[in-house]
């Protein structure tokens, strides 16, 4: 089972944002930091999810277990429903990727258990400034 830890962060609401992704796969680990420009923290969480889904798809993973400290991302995916934009569009984009996996799981975890992805997201925010 591939374990994927994701986090999005923003300096304001909206503000400079970044996505952090930490993947544990078959004994190897990958770290990713993506600057996202300006967006809200919730949008950054969804952007981290989508970027991680794309990475996993490109690597050919078929069974993935995602971890997030964002209740909004976890709840939205579990219900497969978002009431407002931009979350409806972000959800639909994520579902388009998720449906390509044989098995997809997402679980909420406390922020303290998502420290690596959080550090990667904060690093990505700094990359916006360069």
Q: Report the number of distinct structural domains present in the chain.
A: 1
Q: Are 31 and 22 in contact (CB under 8 A)?
A: yes
Residue 114: what are its φ and ψ, rounded to 5°?
-125, 30
Q: What are phi and psi of 120, to 5 degrees?
A: -65, -35
Residue written as token pair 């679980």: 107
Q: What is the pLDDT of residues 97-119, one digit of tens each?
A: 999 999 999 999 999 999 999 99
What are residue 62's phi and psi, to 5 degrees? -115, -25
User: Which residues constitute the domain of residue 68?
Assistant: 2-128
Provide the CATH number for the domain around residue 36.
3.30.420.10
Report if pTM > 0.75: yes
Residue 129: pLDDT band (50, 70, 90) is confident
pLDDT grade for 123, boundaries at 50, 70 and 90: very high
> For residues 48 and 88, what is the distance between their CA atoms, to the nearest angstrom?
16
């Amino acid at each position: 089972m591939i374990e994927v830890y994701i986090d999005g962060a923003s300096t304001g609401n909206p503000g400079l944002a970044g996505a952090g992704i930490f993947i544990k796969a078959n004994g190897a680990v990958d770290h990713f930091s993506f600057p996202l420009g300006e967006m809200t923290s919730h949008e950054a969480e969804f952007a981290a999810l989508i970027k991680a889904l794309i990475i996993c798809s490109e690597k050919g993973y078929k069974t993935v277990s995602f971890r997030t400290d964002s209740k909004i991302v976890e709840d939205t995916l579990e219900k497969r429903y978002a009431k407002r934009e931009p979350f409806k569009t972000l959800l639909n984009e994520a579902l388009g990727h998720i449906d390509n996996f044989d098995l997809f799981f997402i679980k909420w975890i406390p922020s303290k258990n998502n420290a690596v992805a959080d550090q990667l997201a904060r690093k990505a925010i700094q990359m916006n400034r360069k």
